[in-house]
Each structure stands twice: as structure tokens, then as C-alpha cells.
Structure 1
Amino acid sequence: MTAFIYLASQSPRRSQLLTQIGVEHQLLLPDPHEDAEALEAVHGREAPARYVQRVTALKLDAAVERLKAQGLPAAPVLCADTTVALGGEILGKPATAKDAALILQQLSGQTHRVLTAVAVQKGRQRVTALSESWVRFAAMTPAQIKAYVATGEPMGKAGAYGVQGRAASHIEQIRGSYSGIMGLPLFETAALLRQLGVRC
């Protein structure tokens, strides 16, 4: 059994979720010279599922190279990426408060998909999974959207909201994986880790 893994993610939520299932982990974050955001660029009319799996694979490639370059002890490396899709449209992270408000206007009163791809590599072996969930927002008034954006919570989050935060008061229904919507589907993640001999 492997004692610990590397988590190649800047998301504090993913770290908390791994801790929740008892997985010892160490952060393996991008160096300042790495352009991590460039990996998240959408290619044309890319399907959301294809997009999130491609981005996760690229992030894992970069993390595995980082591990080698830093000469760190060998251990499995985990990467994940989450995207929000309304129909076939990918709703990424808002760049500004105005962006966040526009995204939330689109989600208001609608059901959207949340897709989280997970990939883990140990040596030359790589295992992957995709979690798909559905979230329905109640209709939000302009004042409610403005108040939520003012909290700063939408920034840095796909779809401009965090399910575990204040947005929960506007979420009418969820189908699928709550932890997947947060950013790391625990059922799928635990299954992948067990395949690679990680205790969880």
C-alpha cells in the first residue's frame, strides 16, 4: 500500500475532500514560470466532457514532469478539473465581477451540468474517471445576483459559484455527486486510488 499521494491542485476544497476519505497527500503546485491557466483554454466548439478530460490530462502531464524536475520521492499524482456546462456551452471561471453576474444570469432558473474529470498516475500507469452531475438554480433576482457576486465567492470558480458556500441558498436540486460538484468526486477518486494501491 502507498503511504501518500501528490495532489496537483491549488483548490483547498480538493485537499479537504482527500482528507475526508483519509488520504495522506502533499501539494505539488505549479512553479511560478508555469502557465497553468493556459492549459484551461477551450478549443473551438469543444464538447464539455472532452474538454474537462483533456485539460485534466494536460495538468497531470505537467505535474508528473514537475515531480521529476524537483527530484521528489515517487508517489501517485492526482489531478482533477471541473467544468460547468449549460447545454453545450462551457461556463468557465469569471474574469471579473461583471462576468460572474452574466454567468449567474444564465444559470438562474436553469438546470446545468457539472463535470469533474479525475486522473491519477503512478509510474507509467494512469487511471481516469469522469463524474457528471446536474444542478438546478432557482430563479435569482438581479439584487440576489449582485449580493452574491459582492461576497467574492464566485471568483476563481467554474460557473461562478461554490456549491458548498452561499450559493447553496439558491440551489433547488442536485442530482449526482455532491463532492464531484465541489471539485473531487470521492466515490470515483477512491476507486481510482485503490486500483493503484492507495489506502482510502
Structure 2
Amino acid sequence: MNGHHIILASQSPRRKQLLEWAEIPFEILVQSTAETYPPDMPVPEVPVHIAREKAIAVRQKHESLHDTGNIIIAADTVVVLGNTIIGKPKDREDALDILSRLSGNKHQVITGVVLLKGGQEIAFADTTDVWFHPLTREQIAFYVDKYQPYDKAGAYAIQEWIGVVGIKSIQGDFYNVMGLPVSRVVTELNKLMGNREK
């Protein structure tokens, strides 16, 4: 990548897979953060704020990453129903409740992305609208028990069974729902590297 070293500040297997699909060479470095945000922060700003904290934490841990040859990519995804952020389910009952609320309704998936290169920062949020078919209690319980979606915001992954069976339609970037709007990430990476073409 034009002599640049790219670091993904995420343990998400889905984000790792998406960058691999985009054929971007990278390594993974992760530093745990609280993933908290000010209570009065507007919802669309929340995932960007959390992503920025992840990127900064990795850069602070590894002094060499301040060099302009390194680019850190961090991301955070939230699921929003109405104006309420739905996080990762605490347990089985919480997962059942979350999916029951999403059933038959439209929600938004917002992924915030922050790219750091030396003193430069590119930050943005990408939003995808998702509509679920009405789901039966049996369908929801089957999904939760088989797929154990406890590490996923909104208690589901679009690329799993529930996405195939339960999602009526989406408007926006499909891969954003998986956890990374990868085409826009590639565009912004090219800008940071001074490479306007793909």
C-alpha cells in the first residue's frame, strides 16, 4: 500500500474478513477501551467517538505508530431503534427481547470509522436502514440458541441465518451492517496515502 503500514484496531472477525476481501494488507493491534460516551452525545456521533478512543488507545500503546507511514483504522457499530442505541445482549433473555423489538420494524445500523495517520484524522459515520420481517418467537429462540449472538450489537449478524430468513430489505451499504463500510474505507485510505485512483 505505497509503503504504508495499516493497522486494524479491532478484534472483530467480520472487520478482518472485509479488509481481507478488499485485499488490503494489514495487521491487528488492539487495546481495550471503556467504549463509553457522554450521555448527551447525539446518537450518530457515538460510534465515531468510540472508534476514535480505540484508535488513540492503540497509538498511545505503540509509540512507533505516531510515524506517518502508519495508518490506524478503528471502527464501532451501533444498532439504533427509534432514537435508542441497542448494545450487545447481556444474556439469552436480553437477546430474545432485543430481536423481538426489531421484529417487524425498521432500525438503523451506524458504523463510525476513524483513520489516524500521524497528525491527520479522517472520521465518518455510515448509516444503513434495515427492515425485519415479523419474526416468530420460535424463530428468534432458534437463532439465539444456535448462533449465540452475544458479541453482536443488536443481537444479530446479517450474514447469518437470521439475515437470510428474517431481513425484508436494506437501504445502504450491506457491509456496513456487517461492521465496516469497506468501500468508503478504501476511498479514505487512498486519500490518506495520496493515491486518488483505486
Q: Which residue of 1 aligns with 2:95?
A: 100
The structure 2 residue matched to 1:122, chosen from 117, 129, 149, is: 117
Question: Does the 8 Å contact 1:97/1:149 carry over to 2?
Answer: yes
The letter for the 2-side match of 1:122 is K
Structure 1: unaligned runs, 5 residues or longer: none
CA distance in 1, matches of 2:21, 2:73: 16
Q: Secondary structure at the match of 1:127?
A: strand
- Structure 1 outlier segments of 4+, above 3 Å: 69-74
Decide whether aligned partners of structure 1 residues 69 and 191 sit closer, same or farther in structure 2, where only a CA change above 3 A counts. closer
Distance 1:198 1:180, change over 3 A: farther
Identity of aligned residues (%): 33
Matches for 1:21-60 after TM superposition, within 5 Å? 21-30=22-31, 34=32, 36=33, 38=34, 40-60=35-55
Q: 1:161 aligns with which of 156, 164, 181?
A: 156
Aligned with residue 185 of structure 1, among 148, 173, 181: 181
> Normalising to structure 2: TM-score of the pair?
0.90
Q: Deviations over 1:77-121 (max 9, x none)?
A: 100010000010000011111111111011000000000011111
TM-score (norm 1): 0.89
Asked whether the equivalents of residues 68 and 118 of structure 2 are also in contact (C-alpha less than 8 Å), the reply is no
Instruction: Return the alpha-carbon distance in structure 2 between the equivalents of residues 185 and 96 of structure 1.
Output: 28
Number of residue pairs aligned between Structure 1 and Structure 2: 194
Is the 1:82–1:114 Cα contact (8 Å) retained in structure 2? yes
Matching residue's letter, 1:10:
Q
Distance 1:198 1:160, change over 3 A: farther
CA distance in 1, matches of 2:40, 2:156: 23
Distance 1:9 1:198, change over 3 A: farther
Q: Which consecutive unaligned segments of at least 5 residues does structure 2 have?
A: none
In angstroms, what is the RMSD of aligned CA positions?
2.1
